[in-house]
Amino acid sequence: MYGLSNLCLLLVILLNFFTLGSSRLAACIRAVALQGALLALLPITAHGFSAHTLVLATGALLLKGIFIPWLLLRAIREVRIRREVEPLIGYVPTLILGALVTAASFIFADFLPLMAQHQGGLFIPTSLATLFAGFLLLMTRRKAITQVLGYLMLENGIFIFGILLSEAMPMMVEAGVLLDLLVGVFVMGIVMNQINREFSTLNTERLSALKE
Residue 180 lies near another protein (rule: CB under 8 A): yes
Q: Are 33 and 64 in contact (CB under 8 A)?
A: yes
H-helix segments, the chain: 2-21, 25-47, 51-60, 68-79, 91-111, 123-140, 144-164, 171-199
66 binds another protein (CB under 8 A): no
Q: Is residue 71 near another protein by the rule CB under 8 A? A: no
Does position 205 bind another protein by CB under 8 A? no
Number of C-beta neighbours around residue 145 at 10 A: 25
88 binds another protein (CB under 8 A): no
- Which of 5, 45, 140, 147 lies at the binding interface for another protein (CB under 8 A)? 147
Q: Does residue number 158 form part of the binding site for another protein (CB under 8 A)?
A: yes
| C-alpha dihedral sign at 151, 156, 157, 158 | positive
Q: For another protein, which is the closer residue by CB, 58 or 194?
A: 194
Q: CA 101, CA 199: separation in Å to the nearest integer?
A: 34
Of 65 and 159, CB closest to another protein:
159
Q: Could you say whether residue 176 binds another protein (CB under 8 A)?
A: yes
| CB-based contacts of 6, cutoff 8 Å, min separation 6 | 121, 122
194 binds another protein (CB under 8 A): yes
CA distance linking residue 153 with residue 167, whole number of Å? 23
Return the bridge partners of 203, or none: 143
Q: Which of 12, 56, 68, 188 binds another protein (CB under 8 A)?
A: 188
| Residue ranges that bind another protein, judged by CB under 8 A | 112-113, 115, 131, 135, 138, 144, 147, 151, 154-155, 158, 161-162, 164-165, 167-170, 173-174, 176-177, 180, 183-184, 187-188, 191, 194-195, 198-199, 204, 207-210, 212
